[in-house]
Amino acid sequence: MVAEIRLRLAEIHDVPAILNFIQGLAKYEKLSDQVVATEEKLTQTLFGDKRFAEVVIAEYQHQAAGFALFFHNYSTFLAKPGIYLEDLFVLPEYRGKGLGKALLSHLAKLAIERDCGRLEWSVLDWNQPAIDFYQAQGASMLHDWRINRVTGEQLIALAKQ
C-alpha cells in the first residue's frame, strides 16, 4: 500500500481539491454551514504574496485522496517554532490505506527538519475514531487546556477596545 501513496506540497492548481477536502471535513464534523472558504480566498492565502499556511496533498494511485493543512506557531517555553496541524482529512473511500498515518508522519519529519519543538493539533471531543487514531500514533491529549476563540463581531469588538 505504501508504494501507492505519494505525498507532495500543494500547488496552486490543487486549490479546487483543497476546497473539496475542506468541505468534506466540514460535512464529517457537521459544520458545513460554517465554511465560507472559496477557491479565490484559498488561492490568496495559500499561494499569494503572503502565505499563511502550507498544504500537503496525499495521493493514492495518482488520485488526490487527502490533505494536511498546517502553519507554524511558536513556543515561548521552548524558544522554538512548532507546527500546528489545522486540518487532516482523507476522503472516505481512501480511509484505512495508511494515508492519515503517512500525512502525520510527514509533518513530524518536517517538524524535525525545521527544528520545531512540537507538532500540535486539536480534535473534536466526540470524534472517537480520530482520537483513537492520534493516540495510536503516540499523541497525548492535553486535558488541562481549553481552546479559546474570538471571531466575527466579538473579534471586531475586542479590536475596538
Catalytic residues: 134
Cβ atoms of 102 and 66 closer than 8 Å: no
Spatial CB neighbours of 36, under 8 Å, sequence gap ≥ 6: none
**Could you give the CA distance from residue 39 to residue 19 in angstroms, rounded to a whole number?**
7
Cell of 72: 507554524
**Could you give the CA distance from residue 31 to residue 87 in angstroms, rounded to a whole number?**
13
Q: What is the number of H-type helices and E-type strands within the chain?
A: 5, 5
CA nearest neighbour of 71 among 123, 120, 20 = 120
Cross-sheet strand order for the sheet of 63-75: 5-9, 54-60, 63-75, 80-90, 119-121
